[in-house]
Amino acid sequence: MRRKHQPYRRNDGFWSCSVCKWKFASKPSADNCPGILRIECANDEYKTAAQWRKLGFEPVDIGDADATSHGHSSKWHYYYRRDHVRGLTKRAPDAGDSAQ
């Protein structure tokens, strides 16, 4: 669920947001906050939907990502936590798939 940007001044003089957890040199505007946790890249806990699918899982709600990162192409990448994916079921073979 997306939440509203919540900037605050840190003890080290930088700014951060209690929603996205990103660190800023100056007070950020709401445009700088994606509304969910912001991470550097995929890791063991957070993977994209495509990465989970390769491992045999599917995000429970594709529209409700748990984290995001900003890609090099000015595009946001969305990530899902392991506890928010389910195992994919194996496709039943079609009649034409059986050997004759």
Q: Are residues 7 and 46 in the same domain?
A: no
Domain count for the chain, please give it: 2
Residue 5: give the domain boundaries: 1-35
- In DSSP terms, 85 is beta-bridged to 59
In-domain check, residue 93: no
The three-state secondary structure class of 32 is: helix
Q: What is the pTM of this model?
A: 0.70
pLDDT at 84: 86
In-domain check, residue 47: yes
The three-state secondary structure class of 93 is: coil
Q: How would residue 92 be classed by pLDDT, with cut points 50, 70 and 90? A: very low
User: What average pLDDT does this structure show over 13-31?
Assistant: 88
